[in-house]
Structure 1
């Protein structure tokens, strides 16, 4: 694994890690791993294990931390959706320059927001897309939360603190600022996917208390070339070795076939 720094489109430095196949094997394609709202390039360890698995199967994996996350520049309070879109644009340009060949994306949770909004220009470049428990509806996840995690973190008391103090603390540890929430009513990531998505696999745990399983399932039923793979008993982030191992295995198999250009493939 190589640690690198990538300058975002506005100059903020992003931490990234590149997992390459064995030198004698060469690379059959590149996969960008896009993390969630309070995670970093490790995505709780799941992205490390996925990247290693992809490299072992002949694919280059590029993990990176959005601004304000991990050791990237910026601050958590300065995190915005627009900023994350700039970061994704920069890392995808880096990958295209350094690793020619087919490109795919794995986006987890909130990482699906910037990815979906980038589909008008990014989608046509992708051989495939995998979404892990994706945020597809900002209103129902954050602004008018329907599930326990959202109610606990973004309910009336938290919104009052945001209005008064300029930030709220997600999961008791990650401060988010006003501008992020001011953006949310304007953005509809699902529309970007509906209009511009490449073939995609959606993995979602049916016990997810953070992000709606039903929204993801219905999206996969209506968007062309999307497949839905439920993980029975899995919570958000596929915590637990059994569910994470299943997610990594299904994702790797699907991406191998997508990069090979075999069209619709199953988990």
Structure 2
């Protein structure tokens, strides 16, 4: 594992780490896209996943989106459009330096920029894994249906966008007005369903933040997509055992599905 210099398309510096393959060095590349209000460690899960994948022969990039971790940019200035630029930079960085097929693992909100990038990634991407993916922004944030969304994005919270220009997510992440307005317009689910990239969705069936039913129905609506349920799990896989279950399911799927069925 070594730190590397990654700069987004518009010049924002992004903290990043590359895990070099320890096994067969011909499995290809994996880029990991984290969720909102975390960083490239994804609470430790992305570190363990990257180590497991490196042991299996993958070259893995972890990076923090702008406004997260030690990357540049302000939290209030974070946007979906900006994260799409960051992801593009990560893809171009890895494919210019390392050989082999490219896979993406995106967690929670990381699935938004990932799914929206699928139209241009389609011919470059070999496999796609989504953990607890945010696919419907309106039903998650604008008109929230689940407990976490109602607590963080309900009417009182949304009023703060007009009075102070941001609202607090989980009492620690400053989410700005521009990002919230993006929630009204982007439809990541449409791009995910339309894509032919072979995929795996891993989701807890007790998720109180991001809809399990939306993820399951979206996976069923597309070709070449497997769905794995972590039984009893809330968002983010809420115990070490469930985290390890999600990691193992991901590593097993990536290592046994090296041939693109398209």
**TM-score > 0.5, shorter chain as reference:** yes
Q: Which segment is superposed worse, 139-148 or 186-195?
A: 186-195
Instruction: Say yes or no: does 1:153 pair with 2:152.
Output: yes
Q: CA deviation digits over 1:148-194, x for unaligned, max 9?
A: 00000000010011111001011000101000011111100011112
Q: CA RMSD in A?
A: 1.2
Aligned to 1:252: 251
Instruction: Name the residue aligned to 1:82.
Output: 81
Q: Please show how residues 85-164 of structure 1 align to structure 2 within 5 Å.
A: 85-164=84-163
Structure 2 match to 1:261: 259
* Map of 2:238 onto structure 1: 239
Contact 1:110–1:134 under 8 Å retained in 2: yes
What is the CA deviation profile of residues 197-239 of structure 1, one whole-angstrom value per residue up to 9, with x for unaligned ones? 4010000000100000000011111111111111101111112
Q: Distance in 2 between matches of 1:184 and 1:168?
A: 14
Structure 2 residues not aligned, in runs of 5+: none
Paired position in structure 2 for 1:2: 2
In 2, Cα distance between equivalents of 1:180 and 1:164: 16
The equivalent residue for 1:196 is 195
Query: 1:11 maps to what in 2?
Result: 11
For residues 145 and 46 of structure 1, the distance between their equivalents in structure 2, rounded to whole angstroms, comes to 26
Cα shift at 1:257: 2.3
Q: Tell whether 2:208 aligns with 1:209.
A: yes
Match of 1:50, SS state, is helix
Give the corresponding residue for 1:21: 21
The 1-side partners of 2:26 and 2:86 are apart by 24
Aligned counterparts of 1:36 and 1:54: Cα–Cα separation in 2: 19
Shift of 1:124: 2.1
Q: Secondary structure at the match of 2:104?
A: strand
Cα deviation for residue 262 of structure 1 reads 5.9
Cα 1:117/1:262, change in 2 over 3 Å: closer
What secondary structure does 2:32 align onto? Answer: strand
